[in-house]
Amino acid sequence: MHSGVGPAAQLKRHKIEVVHDIPSVGEGLRDHCFVPMVNTRTDTSTDRKASHGSQKAMDNWVMGNVSCELDIGWFKPTEKLRTWPEFLALPEYEQRYLLQGTVPHFEMIIHSPTFFNALNYHCFLVFLFNAQTRGQVMLQSSDADAPLLFDAKFLAHPFYRRLAVEAPRGSFRYTKDSVANLAMPQDASDEELLGYWLANISSSWNMTGTVKMGKSGDSDAIVDADFKVIGIENLRIADMGVVPVLVNAHIQVVAYVTGVTCAEKLQRDYQFNQKVQGRSAL
């Protein structure tokens, strides 16, 4: 958008010359959101204070232990799901998708550090999947160094609010040895859980979909299957912005596959795999 490609009205508002008017640039934002659930524990229920109570210990954790210490689980409240009015109000195709056995509804990460180093504590991170809303990214200035405005419309959809209420309840079964809540809902009521989300919700930095790849004729498609920006010559985009779906997982592998797929298309189009003056073009 800072280069003049995007919604003309928004560009003009910031006095940016319109090179190509594409209204859907910046639309379609999807992201995973999460909240932390942190409580102190009895001295005998965890050794976190001993293992994380010094700078050296934390340096070791950061350098080598993240993949070994974090436990991650994916969950779906299948039987409860069928009774939720918010679920029954979804389109039939969305209901079928959500009921598939391989489609998780939320994720929990345990043993995540929040750096309360002097305490024995336990931290859960609760992530929500299957966002039903589409947000947007907007300019706040013509200055390319100025922050953009991201609005993923977290919790705007009734189904997502219901999921936000149900997902954290699973963490309460692991808090029997808790002493005090550092960052936790005070109880498991709908009102308390939803209020906790509204006060503590955060992006998980999994933004996708703001320059969507689509088929010819799709009104909101910005790039085609070859990553080419529709209507502009010699411009391709190969990042998470082009991915039209938000996968129910951590998206790093999707970013890798997106980049590799675009590279393969460039190799094909420009014959980079041929030898040039006795050397490979790559």
Domains of the chain and any CATH numbers? 24-206 (3.30.560.10), 208-282 (no CATH)
Across residues 165-170, what is the average pLDDT?
A: 86
Task: Tell me: pLDDT of 195 over 80.
Answer: yes
Whole-number Å distance between alpha carbons of 194 and 238? 36
Beta strands in 55-105 (DSSP E): 71-75
State both tokens at 279: 């050397």
Across residues 9-20, what is the average pLDDT?
A: 97
Q: List the Cα angle 118/120/123 in 5-degree steps.
A: 110
Across residues 106-134, what is the average pLDDT?
A: 80
pLDDT digits (tens, 9 = 90+) for 199-248: 999 999 999 999 999 987 898 999 999 999 999 999 999 999 999 999 99
pLDDT digits (tens, 9 = 90+) for 55-111: 666 666 555 555 556 788 899 887 889 999 999 999 999 999 999 999 999 999 887
